[in-house]
Amino acid sequence: MIQQWIDAGETQTQEFKSSFDKACIETLVAFANAKGGHVLVGVTDQGTVQGTTLGKESLNEWLVQIKSATSPSIIPELEAFSVNGKTLVVISVAEFPVKPVSTKGRYYKRVSNTNQALNANEISDLYMQSLQISWDAYPAHNAHLQDLSMVKVDQFVQQVNAGGRFALGTTDSLTAVQKLNYISQGQPTWAAMLLFAKEPLRHNIHIGRFKTPSLIIDDRQITDTLFEAVDQAMRFIVSYVPVAFEITGAVHRKERFAYPLAALREALLNAVVHRDYKDGSDIQVKIFDNSISIFSSGTFYGGLTVAEVQVDNYRSSLRNKLVAEAFYLTTGIEKYGSGFIRIRKALQDYPEVHFDIAEKFGGVMATFTKSKSQDEGVSGGVSGGVSGGVSGGVKNTEDLSRLIATKPGMNTAALIVQSGVTQRTIERWLKQLKDQGKIEFRGAPKTGGYFPL
């Protein structure tokens, strides 16, 4: 067994040390803050067994040093082995239940086969993760119930009841959200402020339409509570997604967007739900002629790796449990940890679109890139957010309902331009569709839009 370990080399859970020293203790701390592991003392970095010299009390002395140099104290297992006449020691430590563990006031984590120092946010995340709580469950500093918009709270409760995933009943809205832990100790939690605040916290979504990396032809900064911010951002993104019209022989043309909209929305939801809100950086969306990238601050949470999210059985950990639960209960997301699976599923009908996910710049970057051949026969998008629409394609309420279903979130002005129909006619048709229960208006009067029911 020992020889097999040596042959495997240094890994996420194994490291070689020529001798026992403080670097050895740092490695044990990194293992304790991750998935556990073992250090082979007496083996060089290249995997050569050079052995180590042990006195009568050496192992006990090493154990005392490890206990006294770590906080909380870790107590590993130490065992000596003889390999080719040379002595080596295996020091094994399990994942520690209450994290993070430190040595001499410094914290480390194991990444691949190296130890990396933890920053302040990572230390906080590890602590809350070990207690099975999240940052957004804490009462927001200096926030009061009067800071919440009761209109948004009421809408949320109605959507939860309509979604069928949790029954809040007919209790008043504040009692209902308190039942879901969005109010703690009589104060709104950070999740409540992100979701329902009258004055939204300044966690922006910054979107740009780029012709080149240095030439921006359109720009939008969205500052709103999370449900509204997602809808506004998605409308802006869709307005710049080229669309082709396929003639199938049926009465109506079939639209095919250059990217699967379901995949774009999942990537945007992942950025909003899982970003690190303790970091003041904006979510950044960059739309180029042949690619769309979405960046959010905060690397993957809970030890999740890029390699793990690229398969369909990865284990998800939630940085913002209450925010994720809000989108789940309102059916915004299907289930925890399924976002990348749903993206890959949506891309199955788009072989010309490549999806990449990476950790960089202290966050997660999701990028969709389409081949240039896809541009042939595509209409070039919707310039300026509303122009270049479906001129003459809307002749009645049925056509208008179909347009809203295809491009949800457009307001009256956008629908007028998209359809080529007069304002008076559009307003009359919108009223008929609302009376028939086919559409509804969501959001603020100036920034909201129409959505299918």
Domain coordinates in residue numbering, the chain? 2-118, 133-385, 386-453
- CA geometry: angle 22, 24, 29, nearest 5 deg: 95
Mean pLDDT of 380-407: 62
CATH topology of domain 2-118: 3.30.950
Confidence of residue 246 (pLDDT cuts 50, 70, 90): low
Arithmetic mean of pLDDT over the chain: 85
The residue type at 400: L
- Nearest CA to 32 out of 77, 111, 97 is that of 97
Question: What is the per-residue pLDDT for 169?
Answer: 72
- Nearest CA to 206 out of 227, 225, 232, 242 is that of 232
Please write the tens of the pLDDT for every residue from 409-426.
888 877 876 777 777 888
Confidence of residue 192 (pLDDT cuts 50, 70, 90): very high
Mean pLDDT of 122-137: 74
Answer whether residue 5 shows pLDDT above 50: yes
Mean pLDDT of 380-396: 47
Q: Is 133-385 a CATH 3.40.1280.10 domain?
A: no
Confidence of residue 382 (pLDDT cuts 50, 70, 90): very low
Question: What is the per-residue pLDDT for 390?
Answer: 40
CA 77 – CA 83 distance, rounded (Å): 19
Q: What is the distance in angstroms between the CA of the first residue and the CA of the last residue of the chain?
A: 62
- CA geometry: angle 254, 237, 245, nearest 5 deg: 15
Per the model's pLDDT, the better-predicted residue between 443 and 358 turns out to be: 358
Question: What is the per-residue pLDDT for 253?
Answer: 61
Mean pLDDT of 92-119: 88
Answer whether residue 402 shows pLDDT above 60: yes
CATH topology of domain 386-453: Arc Repressor Mutant, subunit A (1.10.10)
Q: Record the tokens describing residue 312, joined without a space.
A: 């369909």
* Range of weakest confidence among 46-50, 142-146, 169-173: 169-173
Answer whether residue 34 shows pLDDT above 80: yes
CA 42 – CA 216 distance, rounded (Å): 58
Confidence of residue 393 (pLDDT cuts 50, 70, 90): low
CA 288 – CA 125 distance, rounded (Å): 34
Confidence of residue 250 (pLDDT cuts 50, 70, 90): low
CA 92 – CA 39 distance, rounded (Å): 7
Instruction: Work out the angle between the directed axes of helices 423-435 and 412-419 (0-180°, nearest 10).
Output: 110
Per the model's pLDDT, the better-predicted residue between 23 and 371 turns out to be: 23
The residue type at 99: K
> In sequence order, what are the beta bridge partners of 419?
none
Per the model's pLDDT, the better-predicted residue between 314 and 206 turns out to be: 206
